[in-house]
Amino acid sequence: MRIAVLGTGTVGRTIATKLVELGHEVTMGSRDAAGEAVTEWAAENGEGASAGTFADAASAGEVVFNCTAGTASLSALEAAGAESLAGKVLVDVANPLDFSRGMPPRLSVCNDDSLSEQIQRAFPEARVVKALNTVNAAVMVNPGALSEPSDIPVCGEDASAKETVAKLLEDFGWPAERVLDLGPITSARGMEMYLPLWLALMGAVGGPGFNVRVVRAS
Ligand SMILES: NC(=O)c1ccc[n+]([C@@H]2O[C@H](COP(=O)([O-])OP(=O)(O)OC[C@H]3O[C@@H](n4cnc5c(N)ncnc54)[C@H](OP(=O)(O)O)[C@@H]3O)[C@@H](O)[C@H]2O)c1
């Protein structure tokens, strides 16, 4: 599959590298197509990897991953272009973390709205699926490295888009029964508001290599 990864940070590079390993053709997008992060990543990852602007990547991909800073995601997606996003599965991995007032970060949107909903409203023809924002980048693509199976929530309005994302998550190593469909895009509020708890858990367990599991009543 041709996949766009918008974002050159740890998440974009980790997801893009995994997708190339899985045999996909990946275009990584950045504000600057000649920037060091994006050109180095493309040079290091062989034939399946290419670099471009957000717009180049979005037009090339059949599926688009948003791995940009949450407070900048709307402008990055604006640069990607509504036409290039129309009809496509848009996997929103971003968290709306605002570090401008120091640590811990505040959420720039929460309670009765979420970044994913803002994205879905701004790009109504994109098929937005929130996924992977609840774990660290290394865990996203290698959940089997954790000592026990754990859960990964997804949500969005479009059932077939969620199926596409669930298949990609399985390829990343998430067992199908651990992909929890939380229903509509409004569930992104909870997935994003989990971040303050995730940050506190990281402090409590001593690092980012962890995840949670839902345990049901027997
Ligand atoms: N780090 C993790 O393990 C983790 C886990 C879960 C979710 N997340 C979320 O995943 C996303 C990516 O995280 P990250 O740590 O890999 O990288 P990041 O530093 O949060 O974001 C880097 C990307 O954001 C773009 N960006 C920054 N400011 C911008 C602006 N003003 N306009 C347009 N684009 C802008 C950068 O573009 P350029 O390429 O042009 O510089 C770059 O591609 C974030 O939303 C984060 O909250 C992170």
Contact (Cβ atoms closer than 8 angstroms) between residue 20 and residue 46: yes
| Cα 67 to ligand 1 centre (Å) | 6
| Cα 213 to ligand 1 centre (Å) | 26
Report the nearest-CA residue for atom 9 of ligand 1. Answer: 94
Classify 2 as helix, strand or coil.
strand
pTM of the model: 0.98
Whether the CB of 161 sits within 6 Å of ligand 1: no
Q: What is the pLDDT of residue 182?
A: 98
Query: Which H helix or E strand runs over 129?
Result: strand 127-131
Q: What is the pLDDT of residue 84?
A: 98
Whether the CB of 16 sits within 6 Å of ligand 1: no
Whether the CB of 134 sits within 6 Å of ligand 1: no
Q: What is the pLDDT of residue 188?
A: 99
Q: How far is residue 158's CA from residue 150's CA, in Å, rounded to a whole number?
A: 24
Q: How far is residue 123's CA from residue 98's CA, in Å, rounded to a whole number?
A: 22
Q: What is the pLDDT of residue 127?
A: 98
Whether the CB of 69 sits within 6 Å of ligand 1: yes
Sequence-distant (6+) residues with CB within 8 A of 197 are: none
What single-letter amino acid sits at 208?
P
Classify 113 as helix, strand or coil.
coil
Q: What is the pLDDT of residue 36?
A: 96
Mean pLDDT by 10 residues, the chain (218 residues): 98 98 98 97 98 98 98 98 98 98 96 99 98 98 98 98 98 98 98 98 98 96
Measured between alpha carbons, how far apart are the two ends of the chain, in Å? 40
The CA dihedral of 160, 140, 83, 25, to the nearest 10 degrees, is -100
Residue that has been written with the tokens 């599991």 in this structure: 213
Q: What is the pLDDT of residue 15?
A: 99
Mutate to test the pocket of ligand 1, among 6, 8, 11, 75 (most ligand atoms within 8 A of CB): 11
| Cα 69 to ligand 1 centre (Å) | 3
Sequence-distant (6+) residues with CB within 8 A of 140 are: 11, 14, 15, 18, 93, 132, 172
| Cα 193 to ligand 1 centre (Å) | 18
